[in-house]
Each structure stands twice: as structure tokens, then as C-alpha cells.
Structure 1
Amino acid sequence: MTTLQQVASRAGCSLATASRVLNGTGPVSDEMVRKVRRAAAEVGYRSTAGTSGSSRRRPVVGVLIPSITNPVFAASLNGIQNRMLIAGHGVLIAQSEYDPAREVDAVASLLNQQPTGLILTVCDAQNSKVLSADLPPWVLLGNPATPGAPAVICADNRQAGRDITEHLLACGHRRILFVSGYFKASDRARLRYDGYRDAMKAAHVAALEAVQIPFVDELETLDLSATLSHFAPSAIIASNDLLALCVIAAVRRHGLSVPDHISVAGFDGIAIGRLTEPVLTTVELPDATMGAAAASLLLDMAENGAMPRQLQVAHRLRRGGTVRDIT
């Protein structure tokens, strides 16, 4: 079993100093806190109950996500938790439910636990009140880089939107509709729509106005009857895979089939999309990898004093059976 003495030796400090850091029982410099926590993570030290029977406080990180019900964020959390487990950190989770007004209270609840740092997926990085607050080390996960966000792990959502639209255009579709949650609740969705408009403009095809609906309310009973009648699309792009699956169900309730009557595509590459019949056409994003990368970056910043940095991950078009070639 790893001992506290091994931690102290690796950190280059006294046993008493290592104990103060890991037990939170005395004044220690920020630099020494980083050294000791890093050493504890590297040697696999786990705090145990003290002689008095009280447990020592385990370091934690706070994670803000829009919703736990979306498999995308569940995959990111899995990557974060696996990385933090190795480092000896717990993970606290708060949800905004895609509501910018709830983000401030959600982050405040995380800060009450004195986390080592925060991993944040906000509704709109450019306008979020959370990111202007006095925060411990933090990493933005999934949102685009902004001037006030030096540490970011994200994908190029605008290019992803362009790629999936170009695929549909190449299959002969011209009446392509974009269905999304509210853009104010997701800057990722807005960027994907911007990419859709880029591709439509480049192809000299008129872009349709996006249909915006709530991300979390009654998606399983989504009614697109009026929308389908008004726009008469041959293809629909949904701003994420979960919504795409709901769109497919809505199309079928309308008496139409996918892809014979309407093609459907999404974003994210969630596992359930590969289990549907037909398999969902989508843009795959490495959500679990992004979560793990965000966790590693946060630990490097909080414990090693590393400089914040930005990483853009690659996406990939996955052709499935929900898009029909009509050329």
C-alpha cells in the first residue's frame, strides 16, 4: 500500500507538510499544494480514515453540463471520472438544463465544495455570466474558444455543420431543414447551423430558417406535422443525435418513412444511433476522449501550474442508412 511517506518523498517535502496538504489541516503554499497532490496522484495514494474515525477530505473537481439525459454528456462525464479516479479526485456534477439563468446557481453550488477546479459546458460561452466570475482553474468543454476562455477542449462545430450539409447536397437534396434546440441554450447548435448555411450558400441553394424547439421538454412526443407541411423538406439535419432520433419518430408518426420519404442526419455519434434501424447518419465527435482531455488539462493547470491551452479535436462523418441518395 502506498504510504504518506512515499508521497512526501516524491514531492520533496516533510511528512508533516504532506499531511497538512492532504488533510487540509494547516497553512501550505499553493506551489507545495500542487506538488503534493501531483505526487499523491503519481504514486496512487488514497486517503484513509484517521485515528479519530473522521475521514480525510478527498479533493474534488466540479463539472457543469447542460443535461445528464443526453448521452453526449454522459460519455464526457465517463472520460472525466476515469481520469479523476486515477488522480484521486472525486467528481461533483451540476446541470443547467440548457438554461443560462441556472448556470450561476449551478456553479455556485459547485464552488461551495471548494473544488480543485471546474470543467464547464455552458449554454453560450460568449454571453455566459459564469465565465466572468472569480473561478478556480477551469476548462471549457465543448464550447468554442472565446477571448475570456484560455483553456478549451472543443470541436469545429461550424465545419461539422458544413460537412454534413455537403453530404446531403451531394446526395441530391436541396430542401434541407435544420431542426435544433434553442440557439441561446447551445452555441454548439448555432455553430452547426452556421455551417449548414455556409454549405447551402456555397452550393447556391437557399437555406431554410432553422426550426428551434426546447432541448429537454417532451422530445419523445415531438410533433413536426406543421413543420413538415410548411417546409416540405427532403432531408432534415438535427442539431444532435438525440434530437435526430426524436425527429425520425416524429416523421414516422406523420405517416412518412426514413429515408424513403425524408432523410435525417445528426451530430455527436452516440452509441444508440448505431443500434437503430436504419443506422443514423451523423458526425461523430470523440466525447469521452474530450472529457478525459479536459480532466487532464485541468489537473495540469491546478496541480502543476501549467499554462492554459486550447485543443480542437477532429470530427468524422459516419454514413448511415437514414440518408437516401436521390441524385
Structure 2
Amino acid sequence: MTIGCLVPSLANPVFAEAVQGVQETLSGTGHQLLIASSNYDGNADNEAIATLVAKEVDGLIVTMVAPERSVALKQARSRGLPVSLMFHDPVDGFLTAHVDNFEAAREVARRFADLGHRNTAFLALRFSSSDRSRNRYAGFHAECRARGLPDPALIELGEAEVNTPELLAEILATLGAVTAIFASNDFLAIAVQKAARLMGKSVPQDLSVVGFDGIEIGRLLDVPLATIETAPDAMGRQAAQTLLDMLQGKVCVQRPPLSFDFRAGATLGCPRTESRDDDQVASWPPSVPSLKTDLKQG
């Protein structure tokens, strides 16, 4: 009567809220929850799953680097252990509780375009290991193209750049005519705001910033964060209910994506008039990586 739950981090309130949703659904069912975290590390994912399986859990609820490539997860399923995913976009062979990252990112591009932004960038941490981040960039890129805008610059950051505002400011300074940044999560968007201040830029007058997730602290900033607001607690509840249905032998199908909202905040505004001068637009983009083949195409 135990359920294993693996998330990348409990320090991130998005995952903590999802775990709370799992606990709420399991309450009263007699199941106890065993929680593990992997710090976004694929090897740690496999080790955590192996440990949970060794403890003879009845099922797994997981968010991990790459569930479709995890050897430990494949072994768990071969033993008949039911698995329910959270946050991941649909993966063949798995049921998942998720938001449509591709469509949510398109909404960000629409907001930028409607306000007159042309030169944009997408900033991500762990881009290569996160299907969520990759699909957000794919949706953002697709809508920019649909609107006739230049391709957004893709900037993959390391931990050092995110945790050191001076380093992040140096990277932002290379973006030239960029007037709007879409960050792959709210923590990164908040870091961008601080780095912009170090550069002497004002948000949103000089640089608009939009995040993703809708963490509560974003509302409490001096300049409240514009972001895609999701419901991680609902994601946890849905993932847990799916797993309970599996344990009861019910026929389960992939459910539609959970809803998202655009929280307007105060970090999104019109670009300054001079930021759209022909000379600046002509110099765009500084460098744009090609889309990876596993991205969704718009």
C-alpha cells in the first residue's frame, strides 16, 4: 500500500504543489507516499526508481528527464508496475497529467506580437534534457514564424549563469535588438529581471519578460511577473487518480491537457519606439540554432 513519487526537485514550488495534489488524492485510500527527487539528473532518476521498486511500491508517479529512455522505468513496467507521469507531454506507452506546452508557448508569442515586439529570445535551463522546455520553444518558434517575425534566439543556460546575475547580464548583453524574452520557467524569468537591472535596463520599458508556471512569488515582486499560469496541484491530483484507476484494473486513456491562463503581470509592455529602428532590426538575429528533430513542428 505504498506509492512511489519521483520529481526533479522539491525546492521548486511547482513540483512541491504537484506532490501535495498527489497526497490529497491518496488521502483516505490507505496508500502511503514515498517521495524521491533527482535534481534533474537522468542517472539519479534511474537510481531513485530502482530504489522505489526495491521497496515494493504498488505504482509510480514520476516527472523525470526522459521517461521514454529510462531503463529503470522500463524494468519497472515489465514487472507489471503501473506508471503515471506528471508534467510531461504525451509519451508513447505512458499516461500523463500535463499542460499543452506547445500551445501555451504560442500564446506568449501572440502577446509579444500584439504589442509590437519583433526581436525575441527564448531562455532555457536544461533545454536538452527537458521535453517541456523543448516543446515550449517549438511552440514559441512556430507562432513567431506564423506571425512573420524573425526566428527567436535560443539561449541554453547553465546553473552558473542562472545563479550569477552578472554572468546572466553578460549573456543578455549579446542579444542586440531583443526587446522581449520568454523564459522557460518563472525562476529564470525572475533572474532575467535582476540581470536586466544590472545592465541598467528597465522591465518592461527596455525589456519585456514572460515566465512559465505561475508560481505565487511572481505576484509579490515589485514588478509582478507576466507568466503562463498552470495548476500543478491539479496535475498531481490527476496523475494520482490515473494511477489509482490502474491499480483497480480500470481501463485508462490519455486525458486532455489541463488548462492554462496567461497572467498579465507588469513585466510585459510595448517596446520602445527606437528599439524597432531599421538598423537594429537588420542586425537580428545574433545567432539562431536550428530546431532539433524531436521538437513539435507548427
Question: Shorter-chain-normalised TM-score: which range?
Answer: 0.7 to 0.9
SS in 1 for 2:76: coil
2:205/2:270 contact within 8 Å kept: no
Alignment match, 1:293: 238
Alignment match, 1:231: 175
1:268/1:282 contact within 8 Å kept: yes
TM-score, length basis structure 1: 0.77
SS in 1 for 2:49: helix
SS in 2 for 1:134: helix
Structure 2: distance between partners of 1:104 and 1:193 = 27
Which one of the candidate residues 212, 232, 240 is aligned to 2:156?
Answer: 212
1:131/1:148 contact within 8 Å kept: no
Alignment match, 1:260: 205
Whichever residue aligns with residue 308 of structure 1, its letter is C
Alignment match, 1:279: 224
Identity score, percent: 36
2:53/2:76 contact within 8 Å kept: no
- CA drift at 1:217: 5.4
Alignment match, 2:295: none
- CA drift at 1:208: 2.9
2:8/2:64 contact within 8 Å kept: yes
Gapped regions of structure 2 (runs ≥ 5) = 274-298
Does residue 86 of structure 2 align to residue 144 of structure 1?
A: no
- CA drift at 1:138: 1.0
Q: How many residues align?
A: 266
Which whole-Å deviations, capped at 9, do the CAs of 1:84-136 have from their partners, x for residues lacking one? 22222221111121112221101111112211210011213443334422331
SS in 2 for 1:133: helix
SS in 2 for 1:94: strand
Which one of the candidate residues 87, 100, 107 is aligned to 2:29?
Answer: 87
Whichever residue aligns with residue 196 of structure 1, its letter is F
Alignment match, 1:324: 269
Which one has the largest radius of gyration? Answer: 1
1:268/1:284 contact within 8 Å kept: yes
Structure 2: distance between partners of 1:81 and 1:217 = 34
Structure 2: distance between partners of 1:228 and 1:182 = 18
SS in 2 for 1:64: strand
Which 4+ runs in 1 deviate beyond 4 A? none
Gapped regions of structure 1 (runs ≥ 5) = 1-58
- Equivalent residues in 2 for 1:4-19, closer than 5 Å: none
Structure 1: distance between partners of 2:168 and 2:160 = 14
Alignment match, 2:99: 155
TM-score, length basis structure 2: 0.84
Higher RCO (CA-CA < 8 Å; seq separation 6+): 2
Structure 2: distance between partners of 1:185 and 1:161 = 18
- CA drift at 1:218: 6.8
Which one of the candidate residues 167, 174, 192 is aligned to 1:247?
Answer: 192
Structure 2: distance between partners of 1:248 and 1:175 = 18
